[in-house]
């Protein structure tokens, strides 16, 4: 059978030196009907390997559940990699960062404050064992040593930036090996002496992450690892976007020159990203280095293959460089054709308040609970309490992450973690105070990994602490059939009339089946969007992203249903499908 090993200075494929030229492609950020297309375009760029993270919480959204079907069918994804004649590197964490919700760690696991995060702690390790039990057999049977595509598996991820518990790393290594993984095991850390020292052990082959100055960064790696192949596991050829910030762009010619420098040294590489894809639904993560910044729905990453799978100038520049070091097919992927343009009149409206009863179950509390206490791991939660004319002001210890506040249904204001806002004046009257709290994405990097979400008490007014609360966790990961039914039965509304949120809006449109679309929500404030029940993700007028990508497999010829949950309002109830993406203003 084939072999893949660590040699004195090279990777060895069947005993011969082999330069890994890989690209990151996350199956969980791509519609499964488009996996084959994206993998094929990787081969056409000259890549010989596909790398993917595995997001633990994507497969295990709740305790006791593990899903490997549909969008979560990692086995099918790896089989498609093999069918294209490529190898695979699998990075199952348990922590992955990846600008993904919680860095891939399940909220339900870390809701127990006694569980040790990313360290040698029995409950944490026991949960990882269960995760590996369910995941690693499908990886093991697809190793190159058994005729499959998988040539390497990474243990943990950039651990040196977080901790230095080498007993923890060795426990993970033992778990992986005990579950049949025979191929080389890798670690991955930034090109930093301290991180390299903290983040790996001799049982792991070290790799490094960087985006430029290859000779310098690979020299640092060589000091920490005197023998074996040099590899940049994340060659940063772009960057992610955060809401309210610029769209990041890296010059193709600069990326191409840096890649040339790296490959000329004989080093192996994994482009991060080759194809970024999309944070569909509620899956985006967030960073907090003093200011909380949630990641946008688009994970285009300014990658060689754009969010919709079309080649960019960077694709062609890097393809030319790769052709100097490895065979590149003659075929070139087609350029983007204009997408169908349609106007969608959202002529059905349903106030969110009228749908709360079918979205979740109310519970009473004698204190202010976090959403983790409620067992609600993402999205929206409604908090309710009574206030009096004497209360006059609401102040909270912390809001995670954004709350739309109303008194008897009338808007009062917004509390925003990003804006460090946690206090609002209240109208001087008795009434029901509601806070529609949005978890905008769990922190995916740094010491705030694993923190609880929702409202953090105490909650105080001018006169007292508010302790009597009712909560309703809202099921919005998918479009609830009961909500769709209520919308279908709602009376027809004039799309030209202004929209008052929070409210669901629905419209239908005929278009081209199977064609990619781009949805613009100009004039709307903030919310979620679905097409034919598929969760496109969050939109927000804060930008930079101005369009949502709609994968072609979601669309049919007639009667396509577009649904928005708008939190604030709009001048009219119209959205548009436009010819191409608009990822916002950029900085170079």
CB 489, CB 355: distance < 8 Å: no
Q: Is the dihedral of CA 395, 396, 400, 403 positive or negative?
A: negative
pLDDT, tens digit, 9 for 90 and up, residues 374-427: 999 999 999 999 999 999 999 999 999 999 999 999 999 999 999 999 999 999
pLDDT, tens digit, 9 for 90 and up, residues 477-489: 999 999 999 999 9
Question: Cα–Cα distance between 494 and 578 in angstroms, integer?
Answer: 22
pLDDT at 40: 98
pLDDT at 587: 66
Bridge partners of 561? 508
User: What does the H/E/C string look like for 24-48?
Assistant: EECHHHCCHHHHHHHHHHHHHHCCC
pLDDT at 1: 80
Cis peptide before 2 (omega within 30 of 0): no
pLDDT, tens digit, 9 for 90 and up, residues 335-370: 999 999 999 999 999 999 999 999 999 999 999 999
3-state secondary structure (DSSP) of residue 57: helix
Identify the CA nearest to 151 among candidates 328, 329, 309, 22: 22
- Domains in the chain (CATH in brackets) are 4-322 (3.20.20.80), 342-351+477-587 (2.60.120.260), 361-474 (2.60.120.260)
Cα separations in angstroms, 126 against 57, 121, 129: 16, 9, 5
Identify the CA nearest to 167 among candidates 120, 130, 223, 126: 120
What φ, ψ does residue 368 adopt, rounded to 5°? -90, 110
Question: Cα–Cα distance between 98 and 533 in angstroms, integer?
Answer: 26
Q: Which residues contact 333 (CB under 8 A, 6 or more apart)?
A: 41, 44, 310, 311, 315
pLDDT at 511: 98
CB 299, CB 285: distance < 8 Å: no
* Residue 588 scores a pLDDT above 80: no
pLDDT, tens digit, 9 for 90 and up, residues 426-445: 999 999 999 999 999 999 99
Output the CA angle 260-266-267, nearest 5 degrees: 85
Bridge partners of 247? 586
Reported pTM: 0.98
pLDDT, tens digit, 9 for 90 and up, residues 279-307: 999 999 999 999 999 999 999 999 999 99
Catalytic residues: 158, 234
Cα separations in angstroms, 463 against 319, 387, 392, 395, 435: 66, 10, 8, 11, 19
Q: What whole-number percentage of the chain has pLDDT above 90?
A: 99
CB 541, CB 526: distance < 8 Å: yes
Cα separations in angstroms, 455 against 100, 420, 432, 436: 22, 13, 17, 10
Question: Which string of DSSP letters, residue by residue, matches 132-187?
Answer: HHHHHHHHHTTBGGGTSSEEEEE-SSSGGGT---HHHHHHHHHHHHHTT--S-EEE
* Residue 134 scores a pLDDT above 90: yes
Q: Which residues contact 463 (CB under 8 A, 6 or more apart)?
A: 390, 391, 392
pLDDT, tens digit, 9 for 90 and up, residues 201-259: 999 999 999 999 999 999 999 999 999 999 999 999 999 999 999 999 999 999 999 99
Helix or strand holding residue 189 (H, E): strand 185-190
Q: Which residues contact 118 (CB under 8 A, 6 or more apart)?
A: 95, 124, 156, 159, 162, 163, 165, 168, 449
- Indicate the average pLDDT of the chain: 97
Bridge partners of 119? none
């Amino acid at each position: 059978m084939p072999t893949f090993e660590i040699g004195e200075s090279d990777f060895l494929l069947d005993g011969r030196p082999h330069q890994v030229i890989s690209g990151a492609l996350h199956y969980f950020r791509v519609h499964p009907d488009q996996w084959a297309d994206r993998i094929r375009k990787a081969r056409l760029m000259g890549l010989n390997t596909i790398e993917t993270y595995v997001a633990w919480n994507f497969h295990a959204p709740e305790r006791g559940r593990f899903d490997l079907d549909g969008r979560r069918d990692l086995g099918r994804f790896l089989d498609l990699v093999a069918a294209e004649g490529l190898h695979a590197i699998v990075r199952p964490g348990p922590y992955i960062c990846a600008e993904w919700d919680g860095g891939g760690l399940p909220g339900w696991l870390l809701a127990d404050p006694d569980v040790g995060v990313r360290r040698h702690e029995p409950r944490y390790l026991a949960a990882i064992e269960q995760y590996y039990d369910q995941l690693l057999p499908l990886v093991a049977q697809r190793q190159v040593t058994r005729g499959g595509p998988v040539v390497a598996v990474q243990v943990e991820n950039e651990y040196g930036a977080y901790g230095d518990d080498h007993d923890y790393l060795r426990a993970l290594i033992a778990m992986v090996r005990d579950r049949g993984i025979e191929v080389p095991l890798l670690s991955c850390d930034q090109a930093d002496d301290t991180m390299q020292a903290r983040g790996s052990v001799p049982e792991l082959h070290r790799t490094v992450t960087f985006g430029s100055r290859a000779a310098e960064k690979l020299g640092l790696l060589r000091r920490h690892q005197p023998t074996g192949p040099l590899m940049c596991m994340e060659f940063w050829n772009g960057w992610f976007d955060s809401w309210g910030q610029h769209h990041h762009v890296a010059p193709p010619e600069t990326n191409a020159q840096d890649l040339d420098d790296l490959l000329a040294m004989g080093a192996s590489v994994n482009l991060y990203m080759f194809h970024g894809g999309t944070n569909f639904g509620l899956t985006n993560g967030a960073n907090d280095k003093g200011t909380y910044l949630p990641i946008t729905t688009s994970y285009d990453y300014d990658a060689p293959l754009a969010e919709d799978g079309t080649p960019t100038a960077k694709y062609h520049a890097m393809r030319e460089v790769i052709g100097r070091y490895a065979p590149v097919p003659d075929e070139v992927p087609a350029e983007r054709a204009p997408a169908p343009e349609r106007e969608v009149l959202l002529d059905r409206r349903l106030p969110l308040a009228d749908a709360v009863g079918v979205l979740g179950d109310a519970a009473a509390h004698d204190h202010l609970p976090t959403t983790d206490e409620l067992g609600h791991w993402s999205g929206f939660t409604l908090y309710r309490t009574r206030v009096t004319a004497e209360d006059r002001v609401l102040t909270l210890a912390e809001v995670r992450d954004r709350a739309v506040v109303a008194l008897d249904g009338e808007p009062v204001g917004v509390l925003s973690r990003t804006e460090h806002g946690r206090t609002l004046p209240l109208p001087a009257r008795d009434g029901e105070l509601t806070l529609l709290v949005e978890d905008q994405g769990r922190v995916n990097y740094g010491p705030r990994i694993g923190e609880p979400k929702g409202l953090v008490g105490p909650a105080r007014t001018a006169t007292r602490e508010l302790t009597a609360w009712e909560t309703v966790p809202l099921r919005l990961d998918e479009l609830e059939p009961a909500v769709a039914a209520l919308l279908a039965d709602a009376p027809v509304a004039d799309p030209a009339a202004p929209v008052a949120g929070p409210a669901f809006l629905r419209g239908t449109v005929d278009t081209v089946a199977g064609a990619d679309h781009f949805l613009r929500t100009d004039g709307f404030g903030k919310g979620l969007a679905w097409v034919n029940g598929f969760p496109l993700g969050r939109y927000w007028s804060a930008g930079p992203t101005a369009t949502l990508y709609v994968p072609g497999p979601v669309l049919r010829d007639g009667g396509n249903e577009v649904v928005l949950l708008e939190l604030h309002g709009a001048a009219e109830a119209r959205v548009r499908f436009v010819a191409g993406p608009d990822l916002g203003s950029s900085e170079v």
